[in-house]
Structure 1
């Protein structure tokens, strides 16, 4: 029977198979030498997933890279089935001579990541319908409340989530970007941002997230799955 896994359980179940847990999904990337190879790998992955492919697997194929994402769309979470499918895909790729991995070790331009946009609001229920309509977004499975996050139904754009404000903050940006990275790569991403002129605003909630800012004070958060339970 399919069971929903905790963040820790999901991460530990796939870590040694070249996957990383990322905001309710499992992700891996496979560098390739041509688009035909990426498409062939995608076809092999679909075959390995069988009847579960349509409800669990998404693939982004490029001439130099294939990125695989697993999530139970019925639950908007990672399940034991997703873990089994991840292991199948890794075994299939390995047989074809390709090594799945988060990305950096394999020489990809960057590792896997998930980008979200956070919007501060005094009345989340008041602004949420506008963003849902103007972006053509939809409710995530099991999240249809007036303050829940929104997702792109075709999974091309970043998710939108809303952060409750207790008072107006006219001197601070009201929209910021969250960049979710593999938990074992967060320090490298932060170091790169600081070296590029950024500053660390807060590490009080690390390793769930670090708040960074550019030289003009615009903020972004580097996030991981860790530190969110309890």
Structure 2
């Protein structure tokens, strides 16, 4: 099935309480207890039907159920099938889905020779290769790692940084909070795809959204 653009994926589920983040649709469902979260998980799985194993990821917590929907193809992405699944889930839980997934964290490593450094990180973290050249935790508990090509050595700047992928409608508030806490804006020429912020000692992090990437 044809992959959707980021714009199309975001618009298709925004009013349902889902957000497009990092090649997937994400939402939360509030719960009063682990038992309720487990019951909600069963409702979600039932609504997903045969699509559950290939398209649905669940994380049961004491106070919420975290959801992610994504097509597991050679290049994981969002399709119309995933949007339809998000709609079925939302209906099955009575519209309780909320955009409560605060962020999706990636670790970016700048490298001159990506092929040389990738095996080290794959072995150290016991991660798996992804089709786009990044590495992922098979248990989906830790952030993925991706590699950014460098053109020249850069000894005066950190070469590992966090990419904080936010719901597009929360990026401004999060950056304002980070700047108020002592950070500064370093680069915004490619916003709203990403902004580069730095802490008081110059360590950098990127705030990223899906916008301006299609």
Same fold (TM over 0.5): yes
SS of structure 2 residue aligned to 1:10? helix
What does 1:39-188 correspond to in 2, within 5 Å? Answer: 39-74=38-73, 75-94=75-94, 99-103=96-100, 111-140=101-130, 142-143=131-132, 148-188=133-173
Structure 2 unmatched ranges of 5 or more: none
1:228 CA drift (Å):
1.0
Structure 1 unmatched ranges of 5 or more: 104-110
1:141-184 per-residue CA deviation (whole Å, 9 max, x = no partner) reads x43xxxx1111122111111111111111111110000000001
Find the counterpart in structure 1 of residue 29 from structure 2: 30
1:198 CA drift (Å):
0.5
Find the counterpart in structure 2 of residue 108 from structure 1: none
CA RMSD for the aligned pairs?
1.1
Find the counterpart in structure 1 of residue 204 from structure 2: 219
Distance in 2 (alpha carbons) for counterparts of 1:82 and 1:117: 26
Count residues with an aligned counterpart. 213
- Asked if 2 retains the 8 angstrom alpha-carbon contact of 1:29 and 1:112, the reply is no
SS of structure 2 residue aligned to 1:14? helix
1:44-70 per-residue CA deviation (whole Å, 9 max, x = no partner) reads 000000011011101111111111000
1:4 CA drift (Å):
1.3
What does 1:12-31 correspond to in 2, within 5 Å? Answer: 12-31=11-30
- Asked if 2 retains the 8 angstrom alpha-carbon contact of 1:28 and 1:112, the reply is no
SS of structure 2 residue aligned to 1:154? coil
Deviating 4+ runs (over 3 angstroms): none
TM-score by length of 2: 0.96
SS of structure 2 residue aligned to 1:197? coil
Distance in 1 (alpha carbons) for counterparts of 2:29 and 2:181: 28
- Asked if 2 retains the 8 angstrom alpha-carbon contact of 1:27 and 1:112, the reply is no
SS of structure 2 residue aligned to 1:201? strand
SS of structure 2 residue aligned to 1:66? strand
TM-score by length of 1: 0.90
